[in-house]
A = this chain, B = another copy of it.
Amino acid sequence: MDFQTLLKNRRSIREFQEKEVPLSILKEIIQETCLAPTASNAQPCKFVIIQNRGFLKRLSDDSKQSLLSDLARNPESPLKNYEANLRDGNFNVFYNASCLIYVIGPKNIQFLDVDCALTVAYLMLSASSRGLGTCWIGLGAHVRDPKILGEMGIPGDCRIVAPIIIGYPASIPPASDRHAPDIVKVI
């Protein structure tokens, strides 16, 4: 697909078909994703792929529980906007997507958030070029149960940076509004 068309066509997708994404395609996408630049070419990003529905629900539930604890400690946090959802037993932070990719990395990497975000941009575009939709689910990053983290093979020295849901879109929403580029100054 032509790059400019791809940029214009990519959307954040939160409604998916039931159809699973073949693992071979997920691996192709991750391979392309690893072409992203990282600070000092450290390539710190690692990936966990979750397609098991029961496991996805456990991740959603654990993340919700962590966030409600955070909110109890800090009632004025922006999380209060999500409180009703977090308390709703039927709300799945991953929007019932059939696949989640966690982008994780070592806690001691200085620019880990930036490295992972550059990588995620590639992941989103690579997925979109294959007709797949994605969305970065910030609420899904707060899994803290050591048992669950262990089952995912996430080492103790790593943290989850980016939970990305991925799947075949149920429909393509209109492009979200964009303000004009804010060019502060040209010197």
Check if A122 is an interface residue, CB within 8 A of chain B: yes
- Bound-state CA distance A1–B51 (Å) is 33
Instruction: Tell me if B8 and A37 are in contact (CB < 8 A).
Output: no
Q: How far is the CB of A149 from chain B (nearest CB, A)?
A: 11
Q: How far is the CB of A116 from chain B (nearest CB, A)?
A: 8
- Bound-state CA distance A181–B26 (Å) is 11
Residues facing B in A37-80 (CB within 8 A) are 37, 39, 41, 43, 45-52, 55, 78
Task: Indicate with 1 or 0, residue by residue over A13-46, a CB within 8 angstroms of chain B CB atoms.
Answer: 0000000000100010011111111010101011
Check if A96 is an interface residue, CB within 8 A of chain B: no
Residues facing B in A128-187 (CB within 8 A) are 129, 136, 138, 151-154, 176-179, 181-187
Given A30-B181, A118-B121, A182-B47, does the pair A187, B4 have CB atoms closer than 8 Å? Answer: no
Query: B3, B113, B177: which contacts A3 (Cβ < 8 A)?
Result: B3
Instruction: Tell me if B184 and A52 are in contact (CB < 8 A).
Output: no
